[in-house]
Structure 1
Amino acid sequence: MTTKIFRIKSVSRFPINDDYDRLELTEGVNVIVGEMNTGKTMWLQMIDFALGDDGGPEEAFAKELAEKYERITLELTIDGEEIVVERRWKEVGAKTKIFVNEEGMSTKQFSEFILGKLNIPLIKVPSGSPYSDRTWPELSWRELYRHMYKQENLWSDLVQKQAEVVRSACILQFLDVARNLYSEAYGLFVAKQKEKAKLEAQKDVFVGVMQDLAVDLVRQPEMTVSVTPDSINASRKRLNDRLAEIEKQRTELLSTLDRNTSVKSKEYSAAKDRLESLYGELGQLEGDRNQNVRRRKELVGYSKTLETELAKFARVKASVAVFADLKVTHCPACDQVVPTSRLGPNLCYVCGQPHVSAAADETAGKNRIEFEEQQVSEELDELKKLIAELEQEAEMLEARITDMRQSIQGQQRVIRDAQALAIRAIPPELSLLDQEIGKINAEQAQLDRVARSLGTREQMSSRITALEEEIAALDAEIKLITPSINYGDLGDLIADRMNDYLNSLNADRLSKWKTGRVSVKLRRDDLDITLDGQRWTAKAGGTAQYIVQLAYHYALFSLTKDGRYNYPGFLIIDFPPHFAQAANLRDSETYLLEPFVKLCALPEMKDAQVIIAGRAFDNLAGANFIRL
């Protein structure tokens, strides 16, 4: 890519009553000079406010200035395009807006506008752990701008009030490697992993509670330790066998009673006939249900095959564009170079036969693939409709089977009642058997509820398995689209540029820098700067810490000359008041800025801009001085 340069041509602030104030700025180094309390920092703070600060003017610069002035105007150029940016805090409804060429924007819209003009991709970066529940915020213009504006009161670290992972993301964005590192696929990958971890935790809790409650509730001899599908089936078999025995005993008792009495009601006979008919209908419904299950299984399997085919078509379409332009460059017989223009544009330059153009051939190939893909896609849609219809039919069959069983139970009660009316006294054995049947039915219902709970566990397991497959696919996709980032080389690049600044300090005079050589370790979520192996904040003290920070900003600013990074060639430095209290004030500030002047003088740095505020910069040749 080509670096887009950001530059401020002028800054104007408009008071309510008096004439407006204006600063004219040029490319290269601009020096705003003045003693303490002459308003140098206020100008820079107002520029900062105009460039997207989402607070109010009272917090941005000062309440007195916010009351005195009603708007501020910046005339910018981005890659040569002139842009006017304004903040109008006295205008009704405009206090939080940023006006770009008279169009009102929110801070978010302004951020997206500036990034778009600078050709910097919009990415989302986790502000903490990528696996936390928080939504990933966008890496905005304001986050990047923190690395371009060194404020007067923020000289205790490289960049104040910025999480380490966001700071590293800004540097990687400047180095043009962040767009793939924090891709949409990576965000989806992390979201799937979070969902999987959450579901696994829910499953563990669910299974633990279910097992503890189920063992105590069911109290079956087959499941004294844990409830499993096999233990449920074993309990069901034992209970069903016992029901069969009881039913046999009841039948024998009732048969004996039937032989001993002549009381037979018409309702009794009709109920028995109806019961036989219901059993027949139940068998038919269960057969239909089994057939439905087999058919659905076949269609689901076939639909997965079609989905696999669609995925293959997508890969084939991607490969068509890659391989369409491959040409034979050497003769397959003698391995000599074959001239491409020896036979004319419509003849194959190897065999001499007519052929279609590569573009037409590629278009035809794509059309064939898209036709086949459409056919498969339409067939898959029809399959999904059939599966949905079968699922609806299955639900209806289950409902009818349930109703049929309830009807059978009702007829059985009618028969038992009729038998009870046919005798004068119910044998005690029959009552005991009926009580045992009721107990077994309750136990079976409890087993059904436990089985459904196990089904929920299986659904969770199936979802976890599906997530694992999706995560594996996303991981493979991320590896394909994400280039191998050599963090070591990137860290060395920043370190070399910082050391270039320190070398420049010592170029024409006795050694000004004696605190050590800079080393940089850059990672996805961290930046570590050391001086001769020690952390820079521990090794450097006082003025040396300021110099390390200037070297850091010099390193980022110098990326502009390479023409292939995202740093937009713009820097503001506001020296702190206590830094300029040394006896050799004028010279101490000047030599620190000479490397920036020399850098801006390079042809590759055309239109790049540095704005510096301080008390005095005598003998700083090549700078544009603005005295307040």
Structure 2
Amino acid sequence: MGKKFKLIKLSLIGTRKNYEVIFKDGLNYISGPTSTGKTLILEMINYALGSEKHKSYIELGQSCTFVKLEIEIKDLKYIIKRKLFEFNEPVAVFAWDLESNKFKYLDRFDIDIPSNPKSLTFFLLEKLDLSNIKVAKQDFSFRDLFKYSYLKQTEIDNENIMGEKNWQTSIKRKPTFEIIFNIYDELLAGLKASLKVKNDELKESQTKVNSINEFLQRSEMMDFKTYLNKRSDVDKSIIEKQKELYDIKITGNIKEESTLELQNKILKLKNQCEKLGRNIIEQTQYVNKLILLKNQYISEISKIDFIVEGYHALNRFDYVICPSCLQSIDIDVSSNKCNLCGKEKIEPEIEEILSLKHDKKTLIKKNKELGDYIQNEELNLELMMKECSDLKNDLFNSEKELLHLHKHYINPLMERIEQLNYEIGEANRIITELESNHKMLIELDRIKTLCKDKEKSVEDLKDKIRNTESTVTDKEDVIKNLSEQLTKNLIAFDFPKLENSYIDGKTYLPHVRERLYSELGSLAGVTLITMAYYLAIAICANQETFNHLGLIIIDSPRKNLGADSKEKTFKDEEIFNSIVSFLIEVDKEYRTDIQFVVVNNGYPIFLNKNDIIKEFDGDGRKGLPYGMIDDIQG
């Protein structure tokens, strides 16, 4: 079975150069010290796939403007292009065209809820045959499904795997699990409703295609080949006629002094066009630099918010139970001392907070003023481009006038010159019509691509409905297989004192030692169980009728493990090595079906170098790049 969803290439579009990560089938390992951009890679994948926002990375704001993610969904390739730091801007999607062997613009999609058919999440779900499905009286989202593929560094040990402790985030957790394993009661009804919507959309697109086709048929231009042939013929005709006019000028003893003024004007216009072209390039670079500065302002505002919040948040923690021995702590309510260490709690300085808030207010004002200034500069750029276009038109008209003046002094050849000028003008009119039709061809091509996409989506959805109707998935079998795989994973991880591990049939959450994973009192244990849980779901859902993406992204699997672990039973470095060994074995078995992306600081010596797709050294002295953005200018 081929992958449902596959990462191909991530590109950060920079002002100096582009920064790329190319993914392969199976295991993709990314290694490097702290602050080298490892997690940035994963966050940019998440952002391109519809996350509301990304962190305000300083290097990112100074160097990049867009992120591009090339993906493959059921053997069809797409590129998602999204602007950085502008979280509400729509994304552009390009689809691979087999005939032209290149990506073509498909459409723009909003970062919005899936009920919006022009949203990115709706587009992605449509390609996966899961659009228009309701769960817990809400629209099922691609983000709900992606949670089972992306294990963040901050979530790998947070004792709240899928947000099950908060009803707002938990309400869609169980239905999503059931959709993945095809045991959701309302899945079939949702698929049939989606089929009706897709058929209506397909008919609408086909109507548009027919209308444009009829117009182009009347214009006797049905494809790009016809356009190119006609354009080539007209251009060739113009060149021949202009050459004939030039020959007449050379042999006709034209009085050059009568046209000297106009020739000087033409030369001046050409110089002005050239100078304005350079100014346009400089203005474009200037606007890009202003955008990067605006990104830095946004980053600084986020940083101040974090600091102010930290002042208050750090004083909120009152421990009732000792995290080391799990015994109760005597609390002196009247005291302002820490329950653990007995030291006085430090109250934040009011003046310092006020100063930070004042700085934030100033930055917000500067950010707004800079945004207005950027708009003005972009307007100036548009005016410069318009001025350049006007100069070129003036140049064209002056050159035409020069030709007319030439014919005035060649009386014997006047009739021929007039005829040539008329034919050249007629040819230019034909070119204008051809360009207009060319734009319609481009739009027709885009709508045809959408139609093909929708036709395939309809056929895939029909197949999915037939498979869902003919396949009966037993929930107990799913839970049993998951429990067995979870245990197998934990054994491979060398989980200490492992016993009675299973997936609960009601909550769909992992239990170990007869306790819910979050009640073990061990963050290292939670880290191992969380990874084993995600991997178990991906492996067991590796069937054609199931709906897992076939993608697992894990950030920092070594967290709380190895020599730095605070828990003695998890200090063995072999535990981390066992995790990597297990991933290597799973990769061998499921390479064509499941894609793994793992980010960590370091790797065991037995890991195959071919599986390391990116490695950073933090200083650039070991023949490796410093980090993801490796050319920061000091």
The two structures have a TM-score, normalised by structure 2, of 0.37
> Greater Rg, structure 1 or structure 2?
1
TM-score (normalised: structure 1): 0.37
